[in-house]
Structure 1
Amino acid sequence: MKKNFDLKKIINTYLKHWKWFVLSGIMFIALAFFKLRYTAPEYNAYAKIMLVDDNGVSNPAEEVLQDLGKIPNKDSKKVEDEIEVLKSRKIMEGVVKRLGLNKAFFAQGRIHNTEYFPIYKAPLKISFLESDTLVNSSSLDFSLNVISETEFDIIYLVDQQEINKKGYFGKNVSSPIGEILITPNANNLTSLINQIFYFRLRPVNSVAEAYRNSVEIKQASEFSMVLNLSLNDRVVEKAKAVLDTLVDEYNLTSIEEKSAKSNNTAEFINKRINLIASDLGEVDDEIEQFKTGNKLTDISSEASLYLQSNAQTEQSLAVARTEYSKINFMKNQLDVDSFERIPGNIGLANGSLNTIASKYNELLDNRNRLLKSSNEKNPIIVNLDQQLIALKSSLQNGLNNSAETVALQIKSLENQSSKLNSKIYAVPGQVRKSRDIEREQGIKESLYLYLLQKREEATISLISTSPNAKIVDSAHSTYLAVSPNPTITYFTFFILGLGVPFGIVYLRDLLDNKIHNKEDLQREFNNISILGEIPKLNRGDRGLIKKNDRSILSESFRIIRTNADYIRKGRNVKDYDNVIFVTSTINGEGKSFCSMNTALTIANTGKKVLLVGADIRNPQIFPAIKDVTKNKNQKNGLTEFLVDSSITTNQVINSYKINEIEIDVLLSGKVPPNPAELLMSDRIKELFDIVSNEYDYVIVDTAPAMLVTDTLLISQYAGHTMYLTRADYTEKEVLNFAKEIHADNKLNGMMLVVNDVKQSNFGYGAKYGYYGAPEKKGFFKKFKKA
């Protein structure tokens, strides 16, 4: 079955314990008062700085490395990284050492100790004779009690043992970390007599770590370069000094880093300048050797000269070859035996040959004219022939000489042309190699000049290095305590005061395995009728109802009686319809109490009622009514009736007047050794047959059904069974037994009753009370006017 969420019920669960909530709230508010009273207040100091963006400022160190491709070019500074740098252990340790935060000096006060800051303002000066390395890594606590102007007592712990020594101002005193010297820092020590001081020494790294966690650094806005620094401390001046020194240490560190970077860059540039200067000298030597080896001054002008000389040489070579051809042609003309005319106007360079050729042609013309009128025998013609032969021979010798001369000239010109061509062919390679050398020389020269410029800039930057942070607002404070905050403290403790009982109630309900009222029983049983609830009796309340009783207890049993009659009429039981058994699962759930009050409630209506004590193992009815049985003969009871067949019902049933209500009672009698066997006898049937006919109602108090079998042995004689449970006592797991016997029909007409229910847990009517009952005035209502 699905359980519905009932917010009102959950709230009421806690409101029932409102007294505990109020008491716990008052106690925790009192604790808050004492906390505020005895907790030293803390104050807040805050500062504001702006990170300087170096992108707009020329930084030769970074420019050189960026130009050389050694570091990436960042667009903007990462503020988060700078925050981590500000909170780094290195910077914070520098702050601790500069301010001496690892040493603290206090004067004892009535409530709070007073800390002196800076520590040099303390009335006593503490000097350690050991090295700073040892002192900065040690921890020490001691107290000083000034006895006189020259003496003091010092107390410290060694291996959890208190050491008390007397010391003198100006003299060394031994301590766990070495010798210390204590000297007065004031002119008059009289005011310090009987004053107690405390000194605390802590390792620098632990103090720095504590401040790293205490200092808050946040961006002013999402994309802002402004940072807000904040620190809480018991001493305002210390908090302000820490923030200012933190910014100063950060700037000093950034300047050192930039200076180191500039120095490293300058050193790197100098090494590069020396290396490039050496390379540049080697290139210059290579150019000199190249030009000297190739006999070059200016390759371009010399290449033009080579081309011009080669053109002239080719021209002279062509003229010489033409001349050589003319000479050969003339020689070919002279090789014939006959006298033939030879060319005389071919333009030989040798003018004498041209003259001879002209003279030869002239004599040849005269000879040919004379032969027209004479013959070859003519002495004149013979003389002319001789002259022609002489001229021809002379011309032939001249041509041979000219041919040799021209041939030598041609060979010389060809050699010269070959040399010029080879030089012309070598020019492109020389030009390429020359340009390679010159290009290398130019690169090294430009890099050399660039590095010289950057070296000067780096040297200047060493002087003009700027810090990373610009102080917008130096550390300041409002001098108002921020911790402990009274409002927050009271509110927090009040919430804790409510939370403690709330948690206790919640855990109690979470671990609760018992029933508390009718509603809890309804959740466990969905097929068994629940007659009602019996309220819990306060100390001094009556256990048995009276005639015309208007108490809550009496009204509860009236409701149970009414509900039982309603169920009884609806069942139409033929046998033993007026017999009602009262039982429970275990002992202590109030069977006898319920049996007697149920019988008295019914008898109060004028019905004839018999109360039977069938729990012969542990009789409880007689102790409850023993005051009214003093004058009655109580020798016989149910046990005697079952044992002795001669005893009649009239001998064991007695009439009593309990709280002015007439009722018949059959007590249990003596406790037998064999109760189960007695209840199985035929006499039990005889008893119920008689009493069911003689009485309007028979209420039977039986034994617990789960512990013994007595009730189940006689359950057949019950027309109806009132099954009792007890609030805050009966466990839900135990009720599984009741479910089983109901499923197996072992008890006739089971009806459930919840006993001992606190009035605050009543399922219905608890809020409104009982009609006609006296109204209980609340605490505040008592003060209202009538």
Structure 2
Amino acid sequence: MDNNKPTESKSPQTDLSDLLHSYISKWPLFVVSIVIFTILGAAFCYMRQTRFEVQANVLITDDDKEADLMRMSGLADFFSASASADAELEIIKSFTLYRNVVKELGLNTKYVIRKNILKRIEAFGNTPLRLTAPAEMADTLNGHLHFKVRVNKDGETSVKVYNVLNKKVFETDDKKLPATFKTPYGDFKLETTPEYEADKNLAMSIWFFGYDVAAENLQKEVRCFTPSKKADIITVSYLATNVAAGKRIVNEIVDEYNDRGIEQSRKKARIDNRLGAIAADLATTESQVEQYKQKNNLTNLSADAEYMMSKKSILEGRLFEAESGLATLQLTREMLNDPQSRNSMLPIPSLSESASKIISEYNKLILERMQLEKTAKSGNQKLEQLNDRIDALRRNLFITLDKSITTAKLHVSEIQSSNTESQHRLSQIPRQEREYIDIARQQEIKQSLYMFMLREQEQANMRIANALPKGQIIDRAFAKTRPSGMGKASIILAFMFIGLCFVPVLLYVRDLLRNHVNSADELKKLTQLPVIGQIPIFKEDNYNLRTEEFVAVATSLLFTGKDNRVFAVTAPEQGHGATYTATNIANAFAAMGHSVVLLDLNFRHSSLSDTISATSSRPGPAKYLAGQLEDICTAVTHNKSNTGYDIIVAENNVPNPALLLASQNLKKLIEQLKAQYKYIVIDAPSANFLSDILSIATIADTNLLVIRAGITTLSQIRKLNNLVRDNSIENAEMIVDGVKPLKKFLGISF
């Protein structure tokens, strides 16, 4: 069987009028809640520091011609704001800008004076103590350090330092200010200021943040926005407890925004100065190159070297020709002086054209004489004339050769001089090349630096153009006259309203989280079965009051139907009070003067004998149901504690109890007991044993389901509802047992 089927139970929501009535009945609790929350509101107002909104307004001037054309044509109306305003807004909100503000104003150190257990005052500029951190630490610290400082009237100072994980990293006592503390993060110096009062105790908290963390915090605290979608105005807003400090912060943000081009201008000035110096050095180097080339008669070192090599080669060839020609002239001169060569032909030199002509003419005459001598006799007149001509040419040739030899020697000397000069120039080229390379290297370096600085100058000009502020300050920082946020009266009224709502919410949450019922009224909201009443918890010595309550329950059972004589009592779980209820109902019937028997059919876990202190060696109902006992009356035991009703105690460890209860002998047992007793109260097994319950329910006139207050869960109640509905169990009723007595507080019952 599915125990999770929906039940046809009543809605848990109460009627509105009943709800209001229940709340009105608890009016003292509402009064107490309102008073408490009013006190909390007053304490909050005392702790809360009044904040004033500090604002500054900047007008963005857009010189973009395209934007002007759009405005003139009316197209700008389709846009929420100009792109220039949006861009400038992002610049004002930039992290670098806030970091510069934090660094400039020292906002990375926060001072808070602890007046008492509730009051804290943040000091800005008027702090009695000043903390000095190691240099460059704020640039590298990723987080914060918390210094808890206490100074007594004698000036003795105790300091505790906590890191970002709230772990104590340093502690010292009995220090006199000024003092230096050597922490794991570095040496911190703590000293007094003119605001310090020596004759009073002082408690402070000092937070030291890294610049990056402080800039992030400032970004969260400052609001930058455009008040209107179509207005090119940027508003910088900051909530400050100290108006002067707030104005200083807002003005610094605006000034930092407007001054961001100054640094670029300074960089450009430095670039211009450096560029001028490099240009002067470059001019000096170029002048040195020019002077060096002029001094060494150079144009291009490589070309000059190539030219000198070519010239030297040409000079060597010319020298060879000149020396060869000179040698030819000298040979011709020697042959003219040699008598043996008187009739020989002479070589023709190439250097002297005049000598060459004469020698050519001389050689012709010699050749002609040689031919004439072959045919003519001695003393021939023509031969004599020819010899005379030869002698005349010889004399002329001597003079010509002497001049030609002198000229040839001069020509050879000139060529040798030029060749020597070329050789000298070539020998100087390696030294000149090294010297020129040194000068040229300096020129190249300065030329590269000059070009680099020219590019930097151009980029600086572009950055300056972009960094020039487009904002015009309309309003410098000003504070609004009325504090920001809710006033004290509004805060107290809000707390009073919270106190008014707190009680209903608390009661609703309590009911929502509770998983059990505490009274018959609550049970009636969860079931359609009749709830005949509730049994409170009694003290052990209050027997009479308990009997009276159960007599009322027994009376209710008698009036639930005609001729009801058999009552089966069960519970969702073992230990929920079924045996206790059955015992007291039997006792109530007996007290009313009826003959009653308490029949224990809980074969699985019988606790009746322990409950009523009944002991018996008699056979139990299991033997009768198994057919081993003819007369059930032989199993009856008289209760020793409370006279007036009898008991039939079930045996323990009975095999197959479900089969025994399903046998026809169960009806016979009940009929025999009806013949002897007016009423029969059955202590049945728990509802977990479904087959046992269904067998007993068929022979019972009334099935009483016991709900234990504060123990039986809502899911178990739903299972009982499903059990009754799905199995068509008739005459099922519920009773709440173990209800705690009401306690009163401020006239309200709980």
- Quickly name the TM-score band, shorter chain normalised: 0.5 to 0.7
State which drifts further: 601-610 or 240-249: 601-610
* Conserved? CA contact 1:641–1:649, under 8 Å: no
Residue 162 of structure 1: how far off its partner (Å) = 1.5
In the alignment, the residues of structure 1 paired with residue 146 and residue 674 of structure 2 have an alpha-carbon distance, to the nearest angstrom, of 91
In the alignment, residue 94 of structure 1 is paired with which amino acid?
Answer: N
Assess, with a 3 A threshold, how the Cα gap between structure 1 residues 130 and 559 changes in structure 2: closer, same or farther.
Answer: same
Q: Aligned residues: percent identity?
A: 15
8 Å CA contact retained: 1:585, 1:735: no
Residue 101 of structure 1 deviates from its aligned partner by 1.0
Pair 1:508 & 2:513 matched: yes
Correspondence 1:471 to 2:475: yes
Q: Is the 8 A contact 2:225 2:235 kept in 1?
A: yes
CA distance in structure 1 between the partners assigned to 2:486 and 2:216 by the alignment: 22
Amino acid at match of 2:475: I
Contact between 1:236 and 1:477, CA under 8 Å: does it hold in 2? no
What is the rounded CA distance, in whole Å, between the counterparts of 1:777 and 1:734 in structure 2?
29
> Where does residue 665 of structure 1 map in the other structure?
646
Q: Is the 8 A contact 2:141 2:210 kept in 1?
A: yes
Q: 1:148 to 1:606 in 2, by over 3 A?
A: closer
How far is 1:41 from its partner?
1.9
Paired position in structure 1 for 2:715: 732
- Matching residue of 1:700: 682
Query: For the structure 1 residues 241 and 28, does the alpha-carbon distance in structure 2 shift closer, same or farther, using more than 3 Å as the test?
Result: farther
Answer yes or no: is 1:652 the counterpart of 2:633. Answer: no
Alignment of 1:742-781 (within 5 A): 749=730, 751-756=732-737
- Does residue 564 (structure 1) correspond to residue 561 (structure 2)? The answer is yes
Q: 1:169 to 1:135 in 2, by over 3 A?
A: farther
Letter in 1 for 2:533: I
Displacement of 1:214 in angstroms is: 1.3
- Shift of the alpha carbon at 1:708? 8.9
Residue 97 of structure 2: aligned partner: 91
1:591 aligns with one of 561, 570, 578: 578
CA contact (8 A) 1:97 1:204 kept: yes
The Cα shift of 1:89 comes to: 1.9
State whether residues 656 and 665 of structure 1, in contact with CA within 8 Å, keep that contact through their aligned partners in structure 2: no
Deviation track 1:302-354 (CA, whole Å, cap 9, x = no partner) reads xxxxxxxxxxxxxxxxxxxxxxxxxxxxxxxxxxxxxxxxxxxxxxxxxxxxx
What SS does structure 2 have at the residue aligned with 1:52?
strand
The aligned counterpart of 1:371 is: none
Whether the aligned pair in 1 keeps the contact of 2:600 and 2:683 (CA below 8 Å) is yes
Alignment of 1:360-439 (within 5 A): none
Does the 8 Å contact 1:116/1:122 carry over to 2? yes
Between the aligned partners of 1:137 and 1:634, the Cα distance in structure 2 is 83
Structure 1 residue 184 displacement after superposition = 5.4
Cross-structure match for 1:110: 116
Give the equivalent residue in structure 2 for 1:214.
Answer: 221
Cα deviation for residue 30 of structure 1 reads 8.7
Cα distance between partner residues in 2 of 1:189 and 1:547? 75
**Could you tell me whether the CA contact under 8 Å between 1:544 and 1:596 is conserved in 2?**
no
Q: Could you say which residue in structure 1 is the equivalent of 2:253?
A: 246
Residue 257 to residue 53, structure 1, CA distance change in 2 (3 Å): farther
Structure 2 runs not aligned, ≥5 long: 1-5, 70-74, 270-461
Tell me the alpha carbon deviations over residues 698-741 of structure 1, each in whole angstroms, 9 at most, x when there is no partner.
Answer: 33333336449766667765455445454541663686588569
1:582 to 550, 566, 569: 569
- Letter of the aligned partner of 1:206 in structure 2? V
Whole-angstrom distance in 1 between the partners of 2:152 and 2:721: 82
Deviation at 1:541, TM superposition (A): 8.4
Match of 1:203 in 2: 210
Q: 2 CA distance for matches of 1:664 and 1:145?
A: 80
Contact 2:50 2:483 in 1 (8 A): no
CA positional deviation for 1:77 = 3.5
Change (3 A) 1:716 1:139: closer
Deviation at 1:207, TM superposition (A): 1.4
Which amino acid is the alignment partner of residue 55 of structure 2?
A
What corresponds to 2:534 in structure 1?
535
Q: 2:55 aligns with which of 32, 47, 50?
A: 47
2:343 aligned partner? none
Q: Deviation of residue 151 (structure 1)?
A: 9.4
**C-alpha deviation, 1:98, in angstroms:** 2.6
Task: Kindly provide the amino acid, as one letter, of the partner of residue 532 in structure 1.
Answer: V
C-alpha spacing 1:249/1:5, structure 2 compared with 1 (3 Å): farther
SS of aligned partner of 2:685: coil
The secondary structure found in structure 1 opposite 2:172 is strand
Instruction: Supply the distance in 2 between the matched residues of 1:475 and 1:160 (Cα, whole angstroms).
Output: 39
**1:124 Cα deviation (Å)?**
5.1
**Aligned partners of 2:243 and 2:479 also within 8 Å:** no
SS at match of 1:535: strand
Closer/same/farther in 2, CA of residues 221 and 257 from structure 1, 3 Å limit: farther
Counterpart residue type for residue 536 of structure 2: L
Query: Which amino acid is 1:29 matched to?
Result: F
Q: Secondary structure at the match of 1:8?
A: coil
Give the whole-Å Cα distance in 1 for the aligned partners of 2:191 and 2:244.
25
Q: Distance in 2 between matches of 1:167 and 1:547?
A: 73
Cα deviations across residues 178-199 of structure 1 (Å, max 9, x unaligned)? 556666544x988278756554
Q: Distance in 2 between matches of 1:638 and 1:33?
A: 71
- Residues 608 and 104 of structure 1: CA distance in aligned 2, closer, same or farther (over 3 Å): closer
Question: Using a 3 Å threshold, how does the CA distance of structure 1 residues 711 and 85 change in structure 2: closer, same or farther?
Answer: closer
User: RMSD value over aligned CA atoms?
Assistant: 6.0
Q: CA deviation at 1:537?
A: 0.9
Question: Equivalent residue of 1:704, what SS?
Answer: coil
Q: Distance in 1 between matches of 2:565 and 2:173?
A: 95
Secondary structure of the corresponding residue to residue 564 of structure 1: coil
**Match for 2:646: what amino acid?**
V
Deviations 1:649-672 (A, max 9, x none): 3883659996xxx94423327757
CA separation of 1:709 and 1:146: change in aligned 2, threshold 3 A:
closer
Which stretches in structure 1 are left out of the alignment for 5+ residues? Answer: 68-72, 264-457, 569-576, 762-775
Letter in 1 for 2:93: K
Counterpart code for 1:244: N
Cα pair distance change 1:133/1:620, threshold 3 Å? closer
The count of corresponding residues between Structure 1 and Structure 2 is 528
Contact 1:589–1:730 (8 Å) recurs in 2: no
Query: Residues 681, 546 of structure 1: CA spacing in aligned structure 2 closer, same or farther, 3 A cutoff?
Result: farther
Query: C-alpha displacement at 1:753, in angstroms?
Result: 2.2
How far off is 1:691 after superposition?
A: 2.6
Instruction: Assess if the C-alpha contact under 8 Å between 2:519 and 2:534 holds in 1.
Output: no
User: Which structure is larger by alpha-carbon Rg, 1 or 2?
Assistant: 1
What corresponds to 1:162 in structure 2?
Answer: 170
Q: Is the contact between residue 104 and residue 201 of structure 1 (CA under 8 Å) also seen in structure 2?
A: yes
User: Which amino acid is the alignment partner of residue 479 of structure 2?
Assistant: A
